[in-house]
Amino acid sequence: QAKVYAGCCALGPGITPAWEVSDPYNLTIRLTIERNKQVYWEWDTSTRELKRRFEELVSYLFLENDFPDGVFLCTGTALVPEKQFTLQPGDVVQIRVDQLGSLRNPVVRGKVGKASSNP
């Protein structure tokens, strides 16, 4: 379980609607991981490298669901450190995408929140 856990999906600090991106297949994505205030790992890729086009991903997203208030489509990238790498508390992860901006977050240990079925 490496992708879905409490506190794992950071969005922001702003959101750019899809229709404001001039060419979604020509964006550089750069991932930087800092450890002890030094760049530990850094790499970039491009949305040109996507295995599936956004239109196909969106068609699957809406196949059995409606989203009258909007929805976020999250997909993977080719930015994966070597197999033995593991993030550690205190690491800082930054993802920068051309035209969209940058998201920078620290890694923390343990659960951020507790899921509940009661409001």
> Would you state the pLDDT for residue 108?
86
> Would you state the pLDDT for residue 1?
45
The residues pairing with 32 across neighbouring beta strands, listed in sequence order, are 42, 94
| Domain residue ranges of the chain, discontinuous segments joined by + | 18-106
> Would you state the pLDDT for residue 112?
55
Domain covering 18-106 in this structure, CATH number: 3.90.850.10
pLDDT by 10s per residue, the chain, length 119: 456 677 778 888 788 988 999 999 999 999 999 999 999 999 999 999 999 999 999 999 999 999 999 888 888 767 888 878 888 999 999 999 999 999 999 998 876 555 544 44
> Would you state the pLDDT for residue 4?
66
Measured distance CA(59)–CA(46) in Å, rounded: 22
Give the distance, in angstroms, between the CA of residue 16 and the centroid of all CA atoms in the same chain: 14
Task: Strand 28-35: give its sheet, edge to edge.
Answer: 38-46, 28-35, 92-97, 101-106
> Would you state the pLDDT for residue 62?
95
Please state the length of the chain.
119
Q: Residue 6: what residue type?
A: A
